[in-house]
Amino acid sequence: MGVVQIVTATVAFAYTAVAIGLFVRAGLGMLELIRLGAPDRTRKGDRGTRVKTMLRETLGHTRMLQWTWVGLAHWAVFFGFFLLAPALAQSYFEVINPEWALPIVGHWGPWLLFSEILTVLTGLAILALFGIRMFRQPRTHQVPPQGTASEAGQRRSSSRFEGSRQWMAFYIEATIFTIVLSHMAVRVFKVSLGEAPEWASPVSALFAGGLSGASHDSLLSAITLTAGLDILVSWTFFLMLALIPSMGIGWHRVTAFFNIYFKRNADGAVSLGPAKPMLIDGEPADFETADPETQPFGVATIADFSWKGLLDFSTCTECGRCQSQCPAWNTGKPLSPKKLITDLRDHLYEQAPYLKAASLAAERGGQPDPHEKINIIGSVIDPDVLWACTTCGACVEQCPVDIEHVDTILDLRRNMVMMESDFPEEAQTMLRNLENKGNPWGENPAHRLKWAEPLDFEVPIAEAGGEWEYLYWVGCAGAYDPKAQKTSRAVATLLHDAGVKFAVLGEAETCTGDSARRIGHEFMYQMLAEQNVETLNEVGAVKIVATCPHCLNTIGNEYEDLGGKYEVVHHTELLNDLVNAGKITPVEEHEGKLTYHDPCYLGRHNRIFTPPRELLGSFAEITEMPRTEERSFCCGAGGARMWLEEPIGKRVNRERADEAVATGASTVAVGCPFCSTMLRDGVNDAGREDVEVIDIAQLLARTQEKRAEKAVAAE
């Protein structure tokens, strides 16, 4: 053991010990901090399913591979990072004696070949990721201003990396590439020494010939020094994590496993569909016993977030996938889902010493927290950030580590609305109408059935024991909005002509509470929902058909928590089944080019993509927009934004309307009354009154009308 080995080994082992000590201390500190979050008992149970989900998403990279090439490159780096650990272990042997190797496999040809291939693939993959990041730099993808926006709200580029801490990503990429180079260099030296067969080191052998003039001792010293470099670079990465606990792009290699394990749905489904219930003491809120004086409604301070929320913040990699898909960010609003999470994370670690001190004081004798609590809204997150969200779920859909952005926004909104009465002025009218009239338009509840008056048949009212199979949930839009009323009549006519026995609630129907819940008024939502559940259970509803995806989502996914379990289908699903069964026969082809807009709450939230397309395909050819299905772009109405003004940036509905018009379609087919209103306004704003926005049911009804006209003419 020469001087080079003695010095290198001493430095390597000492550095390793320090890095491990600091990293473990930082990890335990992070765990302690996350456990200070509010309880959330909805994440327990289904351990076996959760483990399977975690392994599938991590080892299979199922979420990362939504972006194929980036996902494949990350997959190679993922396995390289963990499976090349034996190479790091071997470095400890080599700093002591460069001729030593791992026991058993150290000189085994198949292992040497496998590790060589894996090292090369990791190096190529990290170069690919570096290239992608360089190509998508914000400064090279600047965008012109979009409408009127604040300086803080206006996006400056179309890059998903805008707002990310780039130096951290470049540091990690450089670290991994340096480790790859050190492993390859050691292999080159060993091939030159004849210690590794060339067939098991095909790439290294290409470079080994250039060292033919090097002496045996110099090659041994080079192995030791390079192995020492490998150890120092590898453990510097962990040292950096210890020193920067908010370095999510590094920490996610540890926390992502737990964040995925504890995701809302154990089976791996994204955290969309039903809204996360408001929690009090870790359980869904019971407003009959809840005390707002001692139990906060929603989230006001960082300590109010659940431990899962704090884990979310600590896991964000700043990859920007959420940001790239967000309709608010893409139209110049101040909301970036990525920045929302990273701002909360930075605030969390700024407040960490105070949170831990308060916890310690409470443990030692129930002493009150001496530190002033910082209200997040206004000091950390601007209110406009929260009100810009349409709850479309694109951010949650795209996040590779299962961060639940929408749940975080709803929790913050709940505190603003119920505790502070702080919400946009326009929302006050909507909430007052819901409370007094049972619908957001403020229309007379006695007029719930006026939409059916022009029909030439009577629409039956649902009664317990009645002879009907489906309860047709008309919804507030279908009952009161003149355009949506046409859809209601089309659906009723099609069901009637197909022989489907259905009934409606009429005046007994009231708003599902979707807009109230998603604007943050959980109490009003529960009040409306409980009334509807009682009514539905009284009439014995089992199967429900709805034209509004928001009603479908609320009744089908959220009412079960309140004692209402129903089989809810969208009208396009039922109509498609009737067409497939031959009970409805579309015989007329649609004239002109047609495109279809996926409503967020039908598609992304409830995974209903195929039935509307199959139904349209029975009488029309669809020209798809660039952003469809899971990546469909929002119309701008979700999250109660249907009732709010949009003064900042480009209007979301105009952005989607421009995309629809760009397909050359003369007809935009929709399956949601909110989408219909928003896209119609967007098309008109674009000066394209020649483009028709219409519900699929109305298009299908037209084919039946034309067939009837032809039959009459033939007689």
Q: How confident is the model at residue 210 (pLDDT cuts 50, 70, 90)?
A: confident
Task: Give the C-alpha separation, 646 to 665, whole Å.
Answer: 27
H helical segments located in 594-695: 610-617, 652-662, 673-685
Q: Are the C-beta atoms of residues 319 and 400 closer than 8 Å to each other?
A: yes
Q: Which helix (H) or strand (E) segment is 219 a member of?
A: helix 216-243
Supply the pLDDT for residue 359. Answer: 82
Four-residue CA torsion sign, 486, 488, 492, 497 = positive
Question: Of 197 and 713, which is predicted with more confidence?
Answer: 197
CB atoms within 10 A of CB 598: 28
pLDDT of residue 56: 94
pLDDT of residue 714: 61
The rounded distance, in Å, linking the Cα atoms of 516 and 440 is: 9
Cα(668)–Cα(684) distance, integer angstroms:
13
Mean pLDDT to the nearest integer, 205-217: 80
Rg (CA), the chain: 30
pLDDT band of 220, cuts 50, 70, 90 = confident
Q: Whose structure tokens read 């483990």?
A: 51
Q: Is 669 helix (H, G, I), strand (E, B) or coil?
A: strand
Report residue 516: phi and psi, to 5°: -65, -45
Query: Which pLDDT belongs to residue 466?
Result: 86
In this structure, are residues 529 and 512 in contact, taking their beta carbons and an 8 Å threshold?
yes
User: So what's the pLDDT on residue 367?
Assistant: 66
Do the Cβ atoms of 242 and 20 come closer than 8 Å?
A: no
pTM of the predicted structure, to 2 decimals? 0.92
Tell me which residue of 136, 190, 130, 135 sits closest to 160, measured CA to CA. Answer: 136
Model confidence over 639-648: pLDDT tens digits? Answer: 999 999 998 8
- Give the integer Cα–Cα distance in Å for 439 and 460: 22
Handedness of CA 469, 619, 703, 701 (dihedral sign): positive
| pLDDT for 80 beyond 70 | yes
Buried b (16+ CB within 10 A) or exposed e, 25-51: ebbeebeebbebbbebebbeeeeeebe
User: Between these two residues, 363 and 336, which has the higher pLDDT value?
Assistant: 336
**pLDDT value of residue 193:** 83
Is the pLDDT at 152 greater than 60, yes or no?
Answer: no
List, in order, residues 6 or more apart from 137 with CB less than 8 Å away: 159, 161, 166
What average pLDDT does the segment 399-404 reach?
96
Closest Cα to residue 512, out of 553, 541, 545? 553
* Residue owning tokens 């898909």: 325
- Report the range out of 190-199, 420-429, 526-535, 646-655 with the highest average pLDDT: 526-535
- Name 30's Cβ contacts closer than 8 Å, sequence gap at least 6: 245, 251, 255, 314
Quick one: which of 19, 24, 63, 391 has its CA closest to 259? 63
Model pLDDT, residue 150: 46
The mean pLDDT of the chain is: 91
